[in-house]
Structure 1
């Protein structure tokens, strides 16, 4: 099993960077990715999900380029194939639709990161996913927070909904820890537990339920949502 590890120094010993692989159909991106993501140990880049699965190359995080809108079906199919093969997948996409983001998470993605984010922010998100976190895009997080305000997110406790509200408004984990007057490590554990519950909530929801509760526009192909 691949071990999760942050790029850090402990007692003067440099520990291994988190490992990553990239799946992207664009050769230029595959060439550039390792030099752009210097905080990751990029173990390989692959044109397709099938090529990665065939190579059996494992890593802490698999970054999957999700193109759109014409390639959405193929991209989500690739995501599901990777999840079924037990890869930890973070979707990296220029697609802005909250419905697509929710469908990816409901299909088992461990994160969705916008390609409009800076390289530093994207890399930080990949590192979080490599360390076991679930990365929610801000727009979807806001919709979940609004659902919590309407008392429609009872899978979370009142305290967890409070933390979700703070995170959705842009507070960092450090800032949330300060507000709650608790160690940052505790706030990190709480937030990671909340994101796991939220992803499970999406994974258990039907398309109609998700669309109604989160006010999602399902103009995109509805078969992007996983069938139950």
Structure 2
């Protein structure tokens, strides 16, 4: 990321938003020009101007917005980025089909990246899964994912995205999910043939990897041509 890239953090009061702000403050080559939350108490925190979600029109100029908010807050930030010609990096979950269609429409004007997982390791894993599936036609493909006991959705969004990558290579993935303890995130993709099998595994031990990946994406996406990007396109 270049030091000149100006970022707007949308969903700043959430866990990911707080991690993004902390990592930038710790010297992540980030210039945060504003932080947006549903409600605002202090107007400036650690030198960063704070804005309520209904004050989006008043945020200063930015090169890229990094959005980890709620589905109901997604439309305004996408519209703002399209209006200002700024890039959008989003990990907001639960988007509707209409919102996904809006991303495709906005991508004619701005660079957009939506991802279920911002781990750079998972981005590489996705490419490896697609290549393995294409090289091993007819092999069984199974994805086993494990997360903390409080995670409700299963399979995880990352598992489904890895399954899509396998599908791009011609495989049909099956899924199994584990919910236990405080597991941050583990994904195992197994390709099994007659008499042999291959396992590709990613284990996350710290949630900061997702914030770092999102900041990496924002820096790389800023200034790109309009279009829909994947995290692996920006490695």
Q: TM-score, normalised by structure 1?
A: 0.37
Higher strand share: 2
Larger Rg: 2
Point out the structure with the larger helix share. Answer: 1
> TM-score, structure 2 length as denominator?
0.37
